[in-house]
Amino acid sequence: MKPKAATERPKSFGLVAQFDTPAAIFRACEKVRDAGYLRWDAHTPFPVHGLDKAMGLKPSRLPWISLVLALGGAATGLLLQWWTSAVEYPLIISGKPYFSWPAFVPVIFELSVLGGAAGAVFGMLFLNRLPQLYHALFRVDAFAKVTDDKFFISIEAADPRYDEQKTRKLLESAGASLVTVVEA
């Protein structure tokens, strides 16, 4: 690995812009979306109604992940009970058939709930790329206000439309009170 030259500037993560109100970040998100940026995010101290639509986000895949795991849990419960009562250890009890599905319903239900809950939790962690113990935005001192009363938009340098000067002008024209370069 070559040592970094003293004059070499560290690679930029992108830009982060601070906004003061929910309405301001809503309008700014619409401008960034309309400008065609793909790798960007909005950071708010509380949920802002309609922000996902202003950002142009697609519906989440999380319900589908949860559904697949819930159906998998139900199928596992049914298969396990069928196999144990009809194949591996068949017993005739009170004249009931080996495969008496009404008796299997509670276990099927519980395993479908367990699978759906596991799908929701682990799917959310996977889709949000968590746990992420460090992010470049943590280096920006002003970004600490995102947990209090300020709103932020971050645009990554990896975005195909990213140009530091043009992106800065876009964010400033959108009403940003502060635009900061985020070092990687």
Q: What are the structural domain ranges in the chain?
A: 12-59+134-183, 62-127
What's the CA gap between 182 and 156, in Å, rounded?
A: 9
The Cα 31–Cα 173 span in angstroms is 9
Question: What is the pLDDT, as a whole number, of residue 9?
Answer: 54
Cα 105 to chain centroid distance, Å, stands at 34
pLDDT score of 165 more than 90: yes
Please give the pLDDT value at position 151.
97
d(CA 184, CA 180): 13
Least confidently predicted of 44-48, 59-63, 105-109, 180-184: 180-184
